[in-house]
Amino acid sequence: MLPSNQQDDRQKVTFKLPASLKAHLKIRAAELRMDIQDAVADAMTEWKDAPRGEVAQVDTAGAPPFATWLTDAMTSQFKAECSARGIPYVQGLAQAVSLWLTTHPSPRHQPLERTTRRFVVCNQKGGVGKTAVTAGLGGAFAEDAELARLAMLLTDKEPAPEAGALDLVETVDSYEAPQLRVLMVDYDPQGHLSKQLGVPQLPASGPSLAKFMSRQTSGDIHDLIVPVDDERFGGRLDLLPSCQDAFLLDVMISTARNRQATLEHALEPLEPLYDVIIIDCPPSLGMAMDAAIYYSRQRDGEREGESGILIVVQAEDSSADAYNMLVEQIDDGMTDWRITAAYLGLVVNLYDARDGHVVTSSLNEWRALGEPRVIGVIPRRKEQREAARARRPLLAYDPSCVQSRVMRHIVKEIS
């Protein structure tokens, strides 16, 4: 940053800068709590001092105008250095900003010192609410502790009578938000999680999780990550969006060696950056599901139940049939691969006791299983549907609603 006695000597200077670099510069400066003009000044200085062979060319075709504030001396030195290197100013600035972004990584992407917890949210039956649970848990793991406490204070302590089963909820005195760094992975080619959060699916022609799993692309999987921008999550909540090529995932990984490990190989570079990774699985019993089961396994040195499988069901007979098929696949996988995958619990979604005996008796049957145990009963309420329509996470849309309260309870149960 420029010395304080030079701050008032700055003049507006217009260069050109590729739009993608400008966007990354703006975000990184905000994350580091710097003015963009200070970041540009630092970038120019670092670029000028860097060995020329270590600075790569940048594609600047079609770069739009970019205005910043620099001292006359800084501008003159930068232009002189560009002339000495025989490059246009637009190329010099692009190289400087690109180098600065590399040497000043995002604070959200600092490696962790502990093992990343991995949660697989699944059921081969569609429409049970896997996506809603994934988004809700992601928000509950990431939300600011003080804001969570305030939301709990504002929550109506008396559950509505139609909920009928909200005995598994938290009081404000017993809940402390973990405030962790979370990655939600939209593993479903239908892309419901991405759509609910207002994030476009990745184009089929470009890199995607499926292509990284099948080794059909090179590059950095970090480039696919999209932040979920809401002050409630403090920059701790990210999404890996879906891509329609995931419809072909079973075919894409069918010839891979150790195909059950393909998801782990793809996500491994991201694990050091997050406390928690949550996989929103497709309604499928294919090879993609095998890869998710394997990813949730207990690793060497990992505490039992640190990672594992969450099964979302409804209080109805068809959910029970789908559950039995899923459990058979999970158990067969554990036997074939000689692994242990923890059943972390059942989440009964869209429950309303007013639907009658079939619903209430089904809930009792789920609870009678014993293991895996029921760790949350989410009522059928309008807030989740409204949040999806608004393209916002549930805990950002209505942090005090009963559904948000149950999401926090589930997080506490598996923490």
pLDDT digits (tens, 9 = 90+) for 273-284: 999 999 999 988
pLDDT digits (tens, 9 = 90+) for 63-106: 889 999 999 999 999 999 999 999 999 999 999 998 998 888 88
User: What CATH number is attached to the domain comprising 291?
Assistant: 3.40.50.300
In a domain, 110, yes or no: no
Q: Which pLDDT score, from 0 to 100, does residue 169 have?
A: 56
Same domain, 84 and 123: no
Q: How many domains is the chain built from?
A: 2
In a domain, 75, yes or no: yes
Same domain, 194 and 59: no
Amino acid, res. 310: L
In a domain, 399, yes or no: yes
Q: Which residues contact 178 (CB under 8 A, 6 or more apart)?
A: 141, 145, 275, 411, 415
Q: Which pLDDT score, from 0 to 100, does residue 4 have?
A: 45
Domain carrying residue 100: 4-104
Nearest Cα neighbor of 192 from 340, 391, 325 is 391
Same domain, 62 and 133: no
Nearest Cα neighbor of 239 from 248, 247, 229 is 229
Q: Which pLDDT score, from 0 to 100, does residue 119 have?
A: 98
Full-model pTM: 0.73
Q: How far is the first Cα of the chain from the last one, in angstroms, to the nearest whole number?
A: 42
Same domain, 262 and 401: yes
Residue 178 — φ and ψ, nearest 5°? -70, -25
Q: Which pLDDT score, from 0 to 100, does residue 163 have?
A: 45
Which stretches in the chain have pLDDT values below 70? 1-8, 53-54, 108-114, 155-173
Same domain, 254 and 379: yes
In a domain, 179, yes or no: yes
